[in-house]
Structure 1
Amino acid sequence: MAHILIVEDETIIRSALRRLLERNQFQVSEAGSVQEAQDRYDIPSFDLIISDLRLPGAPGTELIDLAAGKPVLIMTSYASLRSAVDSMKQGAVDYIAKPFDHDEMLQAVARILIEREQSQQQASPERPATRSEALPVHDNDIGIIGSCAPMQDLYGKIRKVSPTDSTVLIQGESGTGKELVARALHNLSRRVKAPLISVNCAAIPETLIESELFGHEKGAFTGASASRTGLVEAADGGTLFLDEIGELPLEAQARLLRVLQEGEIRRVGSVQSQKVNVRLIAATHRDLKTLAKTGQFREDLYYRLNVISLRLPPLRERGNDVLEIARVFLVRQSNRMGREAMHFSQEAELAIRHYSWPGNVRELENAIERAVILSERNEIEPDLLGIDIELEDLDLSEHFLAPLDTPLGSPHAGHEPTEDLSLEDYFQHFVLEHQDHMTETELARKLGISRKCLWERRQRLGIPRRKTGATSTDLS
């Protein structure tokens, strides 16, 4: 069990973070300042230190030297992003911007601990592997699970493109792992020691997107009480990853085009430009070429982005990769929840292999987490996965005798979708029918969910927001 030290002076944040990590099977200690951490603990004995950047007395970056090589994850607000980037240059393993959601923090912690474990394995290759280590997790230096032909082709392109500074456009359905590809491109590049700044363009309100990306000067608009560094500027020297770039407003697209053409930005409210050295990686699940033709996306920006285009195949086209990924997730979730070694029944593997997975890898991971939580035995049965597939329609013996590298879109995949509307189908129909005349707040209220949940479901199902008067004026 990994032992994590939290150093945070705000009691509410510290307690909430402790509960989150303890619920996920981590051992946690805490302190309110660097001095308290020094007085109470042997700091190098921890597997990971998570610290706020601004603390009473000494800043959180002081822990980098005190940790003696152990990873330090810095927490910071968007307002001090430049300081966070500086902390990485001092030796912090990564930073996470406040406010963060639970999944974001857990993913960052898991990634840091896995990378540390892998580096230790490389340093001592004779160490015997545990059951979780014995399972292949990803493809060599790429960091992505899967070995089907389309993915092997993708890995080859990633290795060719990574050492260059060329702009890359990653295309693929929601949930396919576009951010993993962006991270691989950064980690294999010459900019690996500089920051990778990830921005989800769909998650930032249109009224704030330009300020978030390019920064603003004091007094540039109501509420701008101080100057602020933008995310493009924070990525200077490194990589900027713009996820769901198809949701970027046209005004912000024009500013981004200037970054690509001139290598400079101008903060909102400023008359001076400043140079930036940023490699841009963009991702989208939408057809930018079609959007450009209809005037919803700048055509000149599209051609600037589309220097190198990488397509990430949906899970249904990846053949037997789905079982490889499912088994890795099963080991990961079993370990995380302290369960004994678990496995899928033959029927569960059949269901996983033949289900179309419209939510892709994200849906698969959620289904397996659900199954591990609900299972009372060490064998996962198909009903625990919560997926809509009739096993009677599939020939079990034929499945296990036939080769498993046929994409699910082939005639042999053989499962016709049910005619009854699922809850996801109902959500999709309702949003598409009403989004032209209802605001996001009204849509969420009618569906009985929060606006955050509405946005997350849009992302998972690939339903873009319409650029109508109703949604653009909804600032609540």
Structure 2
Amino acid sequence: MSNILIVEDEAIIRTALRKLLTRNKFDVKEAASVSEAIKHKLDTFDLIISDLRLPGAPGTDLIGLAGDVPVLIMTSYASLRSAVDSMRMGAVDYIAKPFDHDEMLAAVKRVIGKAEAQSAKLKTQPDEVNQSAIEGMIGSSPVMKELYAKIHKVAPTSATVLVNGETGTGKELVAHAIHNESPRKDKPLISVNCAAIPETLIEAELFGHEKGAFTGAASTREGLVAAADGGTLFLDEIGELPLEAQARLLRVLQEGEVRPIGSVESHKVDVRLVAATHRDLSRLSREGKFREDLYFRINVVQLKLPALRDRGKDILLLAETFVKRFCAEMRKPALNLTPEAIQAITTYSWPGNIRELENAMQRSVILCENETEIDHTQLAIDLDLVRVHEDTTSFQTNQDSSHTLADTHEDLSLEDYFQRFVLEHQDTMSETELAKKLGVSRKCLWERRQRLGIPRKKPTQTAGNRN
């Protein structure tokens, strides 16, 4: 059972969170401030969930105090800039209030799951591994450090490597890294995109042909496999290779020789193969769409490239690196990302991965008319952004009221709390004050009223003059 510490000064939210997590089999402790939290032994917890704004000291102070324990920061939309800063300070993630149960549980399970997986790997690999970054590859997330370590281990060998990952994750960069760290680095690296060459030409391109071997073969031509002799052959999208070409490639791997089309003689070649694909070759081989014997032959060491959405803080690091690079290329002044842009970048799922992110940053630099900042409007990505409220002044909580609600309705959910708070205070508070109190924008408050069926009542005279 995972241990979680909740640090939240509003008793009603703290209690609701405790109930939610306890029901989902987590062991939960509570604190109302940083000073109260450090009375617990912080390194005994698997996760700390802390509000950003706390009495006495901000929740971000726990990031340094907690050591290796991940800290998840809760923040209202109005304090998004501070939330972004907390990520730079080392928070594992942040979640905006108000949030629903599923959103919180998903964040908790994701953070704890990654921490447990990393811990298990460290236990099974007690010896220090080389996790230093690789030239041309950006990122320091745990999944990338694990990838770097595997590349450092496999590169000096002659083993065939299968690189698997979604489109745009940087498979060719991995191939270059393997070649550059191998004894073959002074020999050629030949890259071939199997999906970009027509089926009728792929065999001739890879294995070469004799003069007159087929219509249009006006001269003898050496293939790309022979051109990579002594070096590395990188076959990108190997899942698109026709079955006939797969049979010829299998012979190259098994016998170390290549026979050009139309020739009766084979030639010895010494080639190290790195293959890449975004497809499931195991499933394709079972369906008869990829040779099973070739799959087993190339699946010696498999490197799995993480999707960009699974790389945590690397996303922001990559985005800022691209912005800096494109500003230099276009001779523009250095540009920064606004909090809204950062919110968009870190929230978007990036189906096109690093390639899509790079294109978005290039587009932003080109279209940006501001001389200092890039806003989310220049990103042109399909995301329903949450707007940052103009007034970032914190609205102090009535602690007595919160404690009364917590004592009376201990099983109150966050959604119930939102509804009850609006019903109890809308007669004495303006919409602006209600939104501030709940940490949302007026637009968000209106949308939740519509969804929950809470009609807006005209406030009494005490609040009406302020609305």
Query: How far off its partner does 1:298 sit?
Result: 0.2
Larger radius of gyration, structure 1 or 2? 2
Deviation of residue 224 (structure 1)?
A: 0.3
Report the CA distance shift for 1:396/1:149 in structure 2 as closer, same or farther (over 3 A). farther
Instruction: Find the residue that maps to 1:268 and give its secondary structure.
Output: coil
Instruction: Tell me, yes or no, if the aligned pair for 1:267 and 1:273 is still in contact at 8 Å.
Output: yes
With normalisation by structure 1, the TM-score equals 0.53
Match of 1:382 among 376, 380, 386: 376
Identity %: 63
Match of 1:182 in 2: 175
Q: 2:317 aligns with which of 290, 302, 324?
A: 324
Distance 2:252 2:239 in 1: 17
Q: Aligned pairs, how many?
A: 261
Q: How does 1:1-400 map to 2 (within 5 A)?
A: 140-377=133-370, 378-392=372-386
In structure 1, distance between residues paired with 2:375 and 2:272:
46
Gaps of 5+ in 1: 1-137, 399-476
Q: 1:264 to 1:390 in 2, by over 3 A?
A: same
Q: Deviations over 1:226-263 (max 9, x none)?
A: 00010000000000000000000000000000000000
Q: Quote how far apart the aligned CAs of 1:141 are.
A: 3.8
Q: Is the 8 A contact 1:214 1:232 kept in 2?
A: yes
Residue 248 of structure 1 aligns with an amino acid whose one-letter code is L
What secondary structure does 2:163 align onto? Answer: strand
RMSD of aligned residue pairs (Cα, Å): 1.9
Residue type at the aligned position of 1:256: L
Instruction: Using the TM superposition, give the Cα deviation of residue 395 of structure 1 relative to its aligned residue in structure 2, in angstroms.
Output: 10
Cα distance change of structure 1 residues 277 and 144 upon mapping to structure 2, 3 Å threshold: same
Question: Is this contact kept in 2: 1:347–1:396, CA < 8 A?
Answer: no
Cα pair distance change 1:393/1:310, threshold 3 Å: farther
**Aligned position for 2:30:** none
TM-score by length of 2: 0.55
Partners of 1:396 and 1:287 in 2: CA distance: 48
Change beyond 3 A, Cα 1:337–1:393: closer
Quick one: structure 1 residues 346 and 393, their matched pair in 2 at CA, closer, same or farther if it must change by over 3 Å?
closer
Partner Cα separation in structure 2 for residue 345 and residue 393 of structure 1: 12
* DSSP 3-state at the match of 2:302: strand
Q: Distance in 2 between matches of 1:252 and 1:188?
A: 29
Gaps of 5+ in 2: 1-130, 393-467
> What amino acid does structure 1 have at the position aligned with 2:346?
R
Q: Is the 8 Å Cα contact of residues 201 and 209 (structure 1) preserved in structure 2?
A: yes
1:210 corresponds to which letter in structure 2? E
Structure 1, residues 21-55: CA drift from partner, whole Å, max 9, x if none?
xxxxxxxxxxxxxxxxxxxxxxxxxxxxxxxxxxx
User: How far did 1:295 drift?
Assistant: 0.1
